[in-house]
Amino acid sequence: MIRNRTTQQIFQSFYVALRLVGIVACLGVFDDVQNLRWDFYVHFTNLSNFLCIGVMLVALIQTARKKEDSYVTTAPLLKFIGMLGILLTFLVFNIMQEIYGRLEKQKIQKKNHLFNQMKIK
């Protein structure tokens, strides 16, 4: 854990800024400003990111208010839940990516096999 107040503020500010850019990107602002997506809040990945940005924002406010170097003790249970949410998002994404990749390889192999059979005849 970081005890230096300045270092905490820099890290927390950077974290919150990146997450806010991510939220704006989820709205679709960078893709098409005319057609914003308002269904971004239904995805678990976004919900876990909102929880993390909320906890970090509260920690940033607590860090800014304190006068001395010490640990931030904001809602350890929420920090734990946020960490589990991000970990679950990571695992599900990677598992689904692996499954999808294998299915795509099987489709390509099947198409190649059929194509080769047609060539032989």
pTM: 0.60
The domain spans of the chain are 5-94
Q: Cα–Cα distance between 60 and 8 in angstroms, integer? A: 8
Our CA angle for 107, 92, 100, nearest 5°, is: 5
Give percent of the chain above pLDDT 70. Answer: 83
- From the list 39, 15, 13, 17, the residue with the least C-alpha distance to 26 is 39
Residue 14: what pLDDT? 92
Q: What is the DSSP string of 70-81?
A: ----S-HHHHHH
Residues of the chain with pLDDT under 70: 1-2, 33-34, 37-38, 40-42, 44, 70-72, 119-121
80, 66 contact by CB (below 8 A):
no
